[in-house]
């Protein structure tokens, strides 16, 4: 509930600044452009039987617009397709049956490849140009909607099947076939589904280099810190984050 209140307060703050400043700045100017960003992504598990398992590589790309409402202050709007790769691993060994034969598996890992449509809205503050270059800082929200998901499951093999070692995979476990209690087929150790909606706080900083006229090259770092639970599992609460290197052009 606290996170939802914080999200609402930030949105109200950003939009109220824009509405108030419109009357104070009759000269309006909007720059449009596009940006791309390779990202370093990871999962942070707050509670549950799993934990983060390192980092992955993702990518963001899309359109952006900076609306100048007062001197060095801008409202920045974006439409991005963001890919994130998040890895988690189960803390304990898990049981799975296969055609009447079952075994315990260790090192059970879930590798998520997620893709979101993000609509970032932020307040951006820019310095004046100095020798063709100016710097910026921005903060805001980037709500996203899940448009694609793929989960691959792997584990240390422990069951011999037709003369070969058998390791669970995505098609076997997409519905959560691993069990905590072998005597109860309905018991699931972890449901690897994810939610359709994600809201992160974004903080970024970088620079713009004027190429000619209103055209500028922009580059910077962005931290995308999720604060909504992404897992649809009753025992697990976790978020996913990324740190990205952004490069773009404004016209």
Q: 205 near 213, Cβ under 8 Å?
A: no
pLDDT category at 23 given cuts 50, 70, 90 is very low
CATH architecture of 2-89+110-151+191-250: Beta Barrel (2.40)
pLDDT single digits (tens) 124-173: 999 999 999 999 999 999 999 999 999 988 887 644 444 444 555 544 44
Pairwise CA distance, residues 151 & 51, whole Å: 16
Burial letters for 139-160: b for 16+ Cβ neighbours within 10 Å, e otherwise? bbbbbbeeeeeebbbbbebebe
Count Cα atoms within 13 angstroms, Cβ side, for 119.
5
Residue ranges covered by each domain of the chain: 2-89+110-151+191-250
Mean pLDDT of 172-200: 75
Mean pLDDT of 68-85: 96
pLDDT category at 75 given cuts 50, 70, 90 is very high
Mean pLDDT of 189-209: 94
Among residues 231, 249, 216, which one has the least CA distance to residue 43?
Answer: 231
The per-residue pLDDT for 247 is 98
pTM over 0.85, yes/no:
no
What's the token pair of residue 95?
Answer: 């049981």
Burial letters for 215-249: b for 16+ Cβ neighbours within 10 Å, e otherwise? ebebebebebebbbbbbebeebebbbbbebebebb
The DSSP call for residue 119 is: -
Pairwise CA distance, residues 185 & 197, whole Å: 30
What's the token pair of residue 148?
Answer: 């694609």
For residue 21, how many other CB atoms are within 10 A of its CB? 16
């Amino acid at each position: 509930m606290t996170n939802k209140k914080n999200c609402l307060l930030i949105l109200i703050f950003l939009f109220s600044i824009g509405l108030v400043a419109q009357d104070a700045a009759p000269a309006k100017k909007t720059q449009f452009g596009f940006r791309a960003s390779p990202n370093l992504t990871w999962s942070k598990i707050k509670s549950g039987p799993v934990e983060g398992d390192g980092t992955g590589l993702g990518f963001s790309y899309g359109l952006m617009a900076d609306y100048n409402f007062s001197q060095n202050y801008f409202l920045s709007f974006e439409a991005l397709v963001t890919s994130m790769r998040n890895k988690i691993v189960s803390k304990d060994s898990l049981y799975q049956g296969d055609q009447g034969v079952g075994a315990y598996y260790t090192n059970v890992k879930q590798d998520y490849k997620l893709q979101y449509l993000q609509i970032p809205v932020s307040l951006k503050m820019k310095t004046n140009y100095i020798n063709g270059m100016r710097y910026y800082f921005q903060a805001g929200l980037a709500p996203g909607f899940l448009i694609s998901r793929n989960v691959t499951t792997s584990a240390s093999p422990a069951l011999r099947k037709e003369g070969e070692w058998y390791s669970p995979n995505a098609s076997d476990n997409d519905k959560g076939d691993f069990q905590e209690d072998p005597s109860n087929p309905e018991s699931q150790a972890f449901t690897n589904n994810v939610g359709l909606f994600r809201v992160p706080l974004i903080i970024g900083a970088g620079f713009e280099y004027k190429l000619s006229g209103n055209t500028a090259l922009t580059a910077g770092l962005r931290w995308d810190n999720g604060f909504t639970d992404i897992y649809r599992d009753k025992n697990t609460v976790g978020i996913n984050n990324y740190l990205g290197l952004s490069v773009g052009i404004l016209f």
